[in-house]
Amino acid sequence: MTRNYSHVYTHTYRLTAAQCNAQSELAPAMLVQQIIEVSTEHADLLGIGFERLRHDDNLWVLSRIAFEMKRYPRLLEHYSLSTWIEGYNRHFSERNFEIRGEGGEVLGYARTVWFSINMTTRRPANLESITEIARTISDHPCPIERQGKIRPVNPPQTVHNYTFMLSDIDVNRHVNSARYVELILNQFTLDTFDECFLSRFEIEYKHECHFGKQVEVCSAFDRDATVTAIMLADTPICLARSILTMRDKKLSFDNQ
């Protein structure tokens, strides 16, 4: 089988002390911020970024992220995020990622799903008009499972209240996508993250949330994962599944 591996874009980073979490690693929320950053850069380079969509009065909206890591980049490590478009249809586009550490070691993979909506109506736009996407598809492998449906557990086992403040709001005047990841992982203790690491994470962004809104962050352990719902009264803002693995357990990817 011939594979088309072109149209892969790579951004290289070095993890500084100021960016590290308590475990001297790249924090999962910072990984999410960099996934968004690299997506934006690549879409702009391909001519299918926010500028192109604005032409039709549309914009990109991040709907889902799933990632699996066998370990996270460490303090002072050079690491890279490579991204490519796996496919698209009229409703959404699928963009994948490969995260590599020093010396090219594969540390993990991510899958993201992006919708396009109309800026005025806030209704889904038809991606078929963006014909430029067709020539950007890559067959680069992404050997992690697609995200499953996330069902909140009722009643939750832990609930925290949080009111969104100035520092939580991003350039779109909504709550920052990476900030939700921090609130979700804040349901865990420091001891838990010293013993375990986040080996798989899935998040589904359901509704936008704004400055001053008070939400409940509700979590419950369900089979192998912690399921978290951030709720604005009865409206789910986002849903997440977090799988933690003991740090001494060795993980690998099948198709590496």
Does 173 help bind a copy of itself (rule: CB under 8 A)? yes
With CB under 8 A as the contact rule, the residue among 7, 8, 37, 196 that binds a copy of itself is 37
- Widest CA span in the chain: 53
Tell me which DSSP letter residue 25 carries: B
- Nearest Cα to Cα of residue 234 among 211, 221, 215: 215
Work out how close the CB of 243 gets to a copy of itself at its nearest, in angstroms, rounded to a whole number: 16
Of 175, 198, 186, the residue nearest 251 (C-alpha): 198
Total residues at interface with a copy of itself (CB under 8 A): 35
Residue 242: C-alpha distances to residues 90, 124, 149, 186, 214 (Å) = 30, 28, 13, 12, 23
Q: Does 161 bind a copy of itself (CB under 8 A)?
A: no
When asked if residue 56 is in the footprint of a copy of itself (CB under 8 A), the reply is no
Decide if residue 171 touches a copy of itself (CB under 8 A). Answer: yes
Exposure letters 76-99 (e unless 16+ CB within 10 A, then b): ebebbbbbbbbebeeebbbbbbbb
* Residue 181 beta carbon to a copy of itself: minimum distance, rounded to whole angstroms: 8
For a copy of itself, the closer CB: 178 or 239: 178
Q: Which is nearer to a copy of itself, 21 or 129 (CB)?
A: 21
Residue 63 binding a copy of itself, by CB under 8 A: no
Residue 63 buriedness (CB in 10 A; 0-12 / 13-18 / 19+): middle
Residues that bind a copy of itself (CB under 8 A): 16-22, 24, 27, 29, 33-34, 36-37, 40-41, 75, 165-167, 169-171, 173, 178, 182-183, 185-186, 188-190, 193, 211-212
